[in-house]
Amino acid sequence: MMHARPALLFVLLLLATPLQAVTYKWVDENGTVVYSQSRPPSGVPYETIDTGRPRPPASTPRPKSRSSFLEQVEKEKAAKKKEGIIQSEMEKGADARRKNCEAARKNLQTYTAHKRIRQKDGSVVRLDDDERLKKIEEAKEAIKEFCD
C-alpha cells in the first residue's frame, strides 16, 4: 500500500498535466528563450501560448452546409455511375473483340484448308486461288486487328 500512493500520485500528475493548457514564453537574462508552464519572474515580459484546444486537421475540408454536402455526394455518385458505364462499355468492347478474333481465326482455318465454302444461304461456292488468297489475307489482317 505504501508503494501504491506514490504511483497513484504520479499518475494523477500525468493526467493533470494536459489540463494545464497555458505555456509561457520569455527571454531570460542570458538571452535564452524559455518555454515553461509556470509564470516567469515578475517584471519580465512574456507571451502566453495556448496549447489546450486541439485544432481540426487542415486537410479535411468541411462542407459549408447540408445542401452542399448532398451536392458533393450526388457528384460522387454520378462519377461512380459514369465509371460503371465506361467499365461496362469496355467489357462489351472486349467481348466483341474476342468474338471477332475467334471468327477471324476460324475464317483463316477454313480458307486455308478448303477451296469450297458454304455460303449463309446454304449454297456451296468453289473459290479460285486468287479469291482464296485474298480471303486468307483479309483473315490475317482481322487477326492482327482483333487478337492480342
Judge whether 68 lies within some domain: no
Judge whether 5 lies within some domain: no
Judge whether 58 lies within some domain: no
pLDDT at 105 over 90: yes
| Per-residue pLDDT reduced to its tens digit, 45-73 | 888 887 766 666 666 666 667 788 888 88
- Tell me the C-alpha distance between 42 and 46, whole Å: 10
pTM of the model: 0.42
Judge whether 66 lies within some domain: no
Judge whether 35 lies within some domain: yes
Q: How many domains does the chain have?
A: 2
Judge whether 140 lies within some domain: yes
Alpha helices in the chain (DSSP H): 4-16, 66-113, 129-146
30: containing domain: 20-50
- Of residues 95 and 13, the one with the higher pLDDT is 95
Are 89 and 97 a contacting pair, CB within 8 Å? no
Query: Do residues 46 and 97 share a domain?
Result: no
Judge whether 126 lies within some domain: yes
**What is the per-residue pLDDT for 17?**
53
